[in-house]
């Protein structure tokens, strides 16, 4: 009786896994464009992660300008030529206007609900269009652009130029300087104060790169949505993002105790 129960338990565990693997490898629909199978994708996963444009170019040589592939449980359709992309968006622009966001994006706190609705919308539906109008009107209207013109001019003509004059005769990394300038322009729009000094350009670059890495690295739930509830690394990614957010908030507070982000 115990052996029978153990056998049934094994069947319950392994049968869904076998069906999943069968569907993953052999279950592609005949209506989908041709493309690499799961094993071919696995063999090229390093190139797909580090140089996706090169990987897609090589796959297009084999399967043509339009091909499909699966990354985990996610189906991806790739149009590798301008003519193919134009043909797709001419007739199916609304279907393909959705976007994939890593699961961490849905845990990011925000004070602008309209922007959250827009940035986390998976489909181009009425909610997305409404939120998009609010965001465009808020951040991209001519009045807003004109009102922030003085800030941009001040950053470029006074702070940046003065910093470069002070560093005359020294080696200056312009990439760090302009990244700091962009961070400060954004900070002035949001909180009317600078975020970083121009001598801290390396810190600005590191913060941007670290947050970008957290935001763009797919988790287990991104590749296999069915495993979302057991993706324990998701909590760590949320805490990492909150930690980086606290760095920014701490600089806004200028020594005062900053409010921790809750993810």
Return d(Cα 23, Cα 29) in angstroms, integer: 10
In this predicted structure, the answer to whether residue 98 has a pLDDT above a threshold of 80 is: no
Q: Is the dihedral of CA 94, 96, 101, 102 positive or negative?
A: positive
| Strand runs labelled E in 40-158 | 66-71, 74-79
Q: Which two tokens stand for residue 150?
A: 């003085």
Q: Which two tokens stand for residue 202?
A: 């390396």
Q: Where are the domains of the chain?
A: 2-97, 99-141, 142-253
pLDDT tens readout for residues 6-62: 555 665 566 556 555 655 555 545 578 888 887 788 777 777 777 888 888 888 899
Q: Say whether 78 sits in a helix, a strand or coil.
A: strand
In this predicted structure, the answer to whether residue 171 has a pLDDT above a threshold of 70 is: yes
Mean predicted confidence (pLDDT) in 244-255? 56
Return d(Cα 205, Cα 176) in angstroms, integer: 7
Q: Say whether 148 sits in a helix, a strand or coil.
A: coil
What does pTM read for this prediction? 0.46
Picking from 94, 88, 102, the residue whose alpha carbon sits closest to that of residue 124 is 94
pLDDT tens readout for residues 103-149: 666 655 543 344 444 444 555 555 556 556 655 655 555 566 566 66
């Amino acid at each position: 009786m115990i052996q029978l129960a153990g056998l049934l338990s094994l069947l319950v565990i392994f049968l869904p896994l076998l069906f999943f693997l069968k569907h993953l490898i052999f279950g592609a629909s005949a209506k989908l464009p041709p493309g690499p199978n799961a094993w071919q994708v696995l063999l090229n996963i390093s190139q797909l992660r580090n140089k996706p444009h090169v990987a897609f170019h090589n796959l297009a040589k084999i399967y043509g300008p339009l091909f499909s592939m699966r990354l985990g449980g996610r189906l991806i359709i790739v149009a590798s030529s301008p003519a193919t992309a134009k043909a797709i968006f001419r007739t199916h622009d609304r279907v393909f206007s959705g976007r994939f966001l890593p699961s961490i994006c849905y845990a990011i706190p925000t004070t602008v609900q309209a922007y959250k609705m827009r940035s986390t919308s998976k489909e181009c539906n009425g909610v997305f269009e409404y939120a998009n109008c609010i965001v465009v009107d808020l951040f991209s209207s001519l009045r807003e652009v004109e009102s922030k013109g003085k800030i941009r001019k001040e950053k470029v003509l006074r702070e940046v130029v003065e910093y470069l004059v002070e560093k005359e005769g020294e080696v200056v990394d312009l990439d760090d300087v302009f990244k700091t300038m962009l961070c400060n322009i954004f900070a002035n729009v949001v909180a009317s104060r600078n975020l970083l000094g121009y001598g801290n350009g390396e810190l600005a670059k590191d913060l941007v790169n670290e947050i970008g890495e957290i935001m763009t690295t797919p988790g287990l739930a991104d590749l296999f949505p069915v495993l979302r509830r057991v993706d324990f690394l998701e909590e760590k990614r949320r805490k990492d993002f909150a930690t980086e957010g606290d760095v920014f908030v701490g600089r806004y507070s200028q020594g005062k105790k900053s409010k921790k982000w809750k993810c």
